[in-house]
Every structure is written in C-alpha cells, then in structure tokens.
Structure 1
Amino acid sequence: MDLPHMTPGPDLDTLARNASAGDAAALHELLTRIRPDVIRHCARFLPCAQDAEEAAQDALLQVTRHINRFEGRAKFSTWLHTVVANCARQTYRTLKRRAAERADADLPVHLPDPRTTSVIAGSRLDLLDALERLEADRPNLVAALVLRDLSQLDYEEIAEQLALPVGTVKSQVHRARQHVRASLAGER
C-alpha cells in the first residue's frame, strides 16, 4: 500500500498520536487523508470495487474505534496496514459465508471475472482461500506474510509491528510462502 500520500499539514504519525490522545479534529483529518489509500489497499485483497469499499469502510471504522490503541511505538502506516489487512480478510470471510448461504438456498452465485482477479500465483480469491488454510494450519505465520507480500512492508517494519526479531519475520514469511504455494497448487 502506498500509505501515506502526504498532503500539507501535520504528518500522519502526529495526527494519529493526537487522535489517540482524544483530539477529534485530528481523527477527522486523519480519516480523510487515509481513506483513498485504505480503499486502494483493500482492492489488493478484494477484486470487486464494492467489496473493497465495504472493507475500507470497516477499516476506517476500526481506526476510529481503536485509535486509542495506537501507541506511537511504530509508524502509524505500519499499524494501519495491519488494521486494513485484517478488515479486508474479514470482509472476504463474510462475503464467502454469504455466497455459501446463497448456494445452499439454490440462488445464483456471481462468479468473479478472472480478468479482474489475477495476482501473483493465482487469483486473489484463491490466494485468500490459501490464507484461510494457512491461518487454520499455522496461524502464527499469517500476519508476517500478509504484511510483507500484500501490504508490501519491509521486514524491519513488520518486525517492529509484530514485536519479533527480523530473522524470525523472514523465516515466518518464507514458511508461509511455502505453505501458500502448496495450497495454491492443491497440495494442502
């Protein structure tokens, strides 16, 4: 994600610290400034624009509700990446559950257009399914993989966010990639 696109005014870290301390105006400005990038990042997970918008709204709501948890130890953009990735994945789970319920009710299910779902190693939907399987099998590996390969954070930022040594993060990403590749290949 290209967080943040800087515009004139306080930097996002300052806004986030002020919002965390209860400054409503700082929170409003923060949400306004991050919204386009949050939507863009959600679209990396969810190919349908409406689904990405739904995930982005959830992410912005989570930022609003939990900004007081931002302690300023890491960069705000790193904290935000985690919130956005979790919301996008939760939206995917919800959409998948709804589709299964519709299928159970013998209603037509909209299939994604493969031209809009391609991503490294398969479709986004296949990748999200593989992440679900990874989370079921090896939950401690998911965060590092999502932050590295989907959010495109560097290893140092991930280590800081997850409070792990850089070497551990690299190892987790490597093992998670192996698991996801095997899952995408139908081996898991």
Structure 2
Amino acid sequence: MRDDHTEALARRAAAGDAMALNDLLTAIRPAVLRRCARLLPCFQDAEEACQDALLQVARAIGRFEGRSRFTTWLYVVVANSARQTYRSLKRRAAEQHDLPPLDRPDPRTTSVIAGSRLDFLDALERLETRRPDLVAPLVLRDVCQLDYAEIAGHLGIPAGTVKSRIHQARADLREYLSPAL
C-alpha cells in the first residue's frame, strides 16, 4: 500500500468521490487483512474483521477530516474491528451450550501464537473495563506500530501522556498475562 497514493485516495473519498472510495477499499484490503490477522489467530475470523473494518471505512470516510494521516485513522478502525469481532465470537461461543466458551484456548488445538493472541485480547478486555483510556494508546503503539507523535496527534493528547499511558497499560497487561502462582 503506497502511503501517498492511499492518502490522496482517502482525501478524495472523504470528499464524496465514490470511485476513489472503491479504489481505496481495494488498495487497503491486503493491509487491513494482515493487521486483523495479527490479532485474530483464525484466518476466517481475520477475514470477518477485515470485512467489518472495510465496511466501517466505507461508512465513516466522510468523517475523516485529514487531521492525522489516513493510515493512522485506518489502523484505529482495524484494531477496533478485530477486537469487536473477537468479542462477538466469544459471545457466540458462550451462547452455544454444546461448545466450550473461548475463555481459554484449548492447548491441544491451539498453537502457542494463537493462544497468546487470545490471551492478549482477553487482557485488553480486562484493561478496557478498568482503564479504558489506556487501551487506544497501547493498541496504536504495540499492534498498529504507530510512533508516539502519530498517536498523540490522533488522540489529541501530549506525547508524554501517550508514553505514560502505554507504560501503565503494559504494566497492567503484564499482570493480567502472568500466570497465577
């Protein structure tokens, strides 16, 4: 995904150009799918989150104001979509009596990487209930790999606050992810 081309398409799409929106969605789909797959261990789940993220982009592109880079805005949408897909999958599994809930991955059927992603998503949910202000900076930095200045610009807070929140979020996640002794 070429950044300058994507940014131009996003500006045109935000201004109401339907052809630019179509081209934008086509251009960003591979990167969106890769980002969803970083969080969701099952490819079908990542595809579902990708489709949801692309739909969100299509619906909300008119609200993209260009204050930050489009890719920064996009990564927020993608991370939220992947987390929402995970919550939905967890809820669906809990509603089915014949299937175990997705509280803990089954070590016999889940790879170490996939299990750690599920643990990470569970830890993010716990963090969000306790300190929702810490989740966005952490996800933007550690999942979306944005730099501190981009995160600060997107969230409208000073870079020092971003760093502090990320530090606190990582400390809290370590506590959630540590096995009980």
TM-score normalised by structure 2 residue count: 0.92
**Distance (Å, rounded) in 1 between the aligned partners of 2:83 and 2:145:** 16
Equivalent position of 1:106 in the other structure: 98
**Distance (Å, rounded) in 2 between the aligned partners of 1:86 and 1:141:** 14
Cα displacement (A) at 1:31: 0.3
Equivalent position of 2:158 in the other structure: 165
Equivalent position of 2:117 in the other structure: 124
Partner SS, residue 71 of structure 2: helix
Equivalent position of 1:40 in the other structure: 34
Equivalent position of 1:69 in the other structure: 63
Aligned-residue CA RMSD (Å) = 1.7
Equivalent position of 1:147 in the other structure: 140
Q: Number of matched residues?
A: 175
Are the structure 2 counterparts of residues 65 and 133 from structure 1 closer, same or farther at C-alpha, using a change threshold of 3 Å?
Answer: same
CA contact (8 A) 2:72 2:150 kept: yes
Given candidates 81, 84, 90, the residue that maps to 1:90 is 84
**Distance (Å, rounded) in 2 between the aligned partners of 1:76 and 1:28:** 15
Are the structure 2 counterparts of residues 109 and 145 from structure 1 closer, same or farther at C-alpha, using a change threshold of 3 Å?
Answer: closer
Cα displacement (A) at 1:106: 2.7
Give per-residue Cα distances to partners, 1:128-178, cap 9 Å, x unaligned: 000000000000100000000011111111011101100000000000000
Partner SS, residue 152 of structure 1: coil
Aligned partner of 1:6: which letter?
R
Aligned partner of 2:98: which letter?
D
Partner SS, residue 42 of structure 1: helix
Cα displacement (A) at 1:107: 3.5
Cα displacement (A) at 1:108: 5.9
Given candidates 8, 24, 35, the residue that maps to 1:30 is 24
**Distance (Å, rounded) in 1 between the aligned partners of 2:155 and 2:176:** 25
Are the structure 2 counterparts of residues 109 and 165 from structure 1 closer, same or farther at C-alpha, using a change threshold of 3 Å?
Answer: closer
**Distance (Å, rounded) in 2 between the aligned partners of 1:46 and 1:106:** 23
Identity over aligned pairs, percent: 62
Structure 1 ranges of 4+ moved more than 6 A:
none
**Distance (Å, rounded) in 2 between the aligned partners of 1:56 and 1:172:** 27
Q: Which runs of 5+ in 2 are unaligned?
A: none
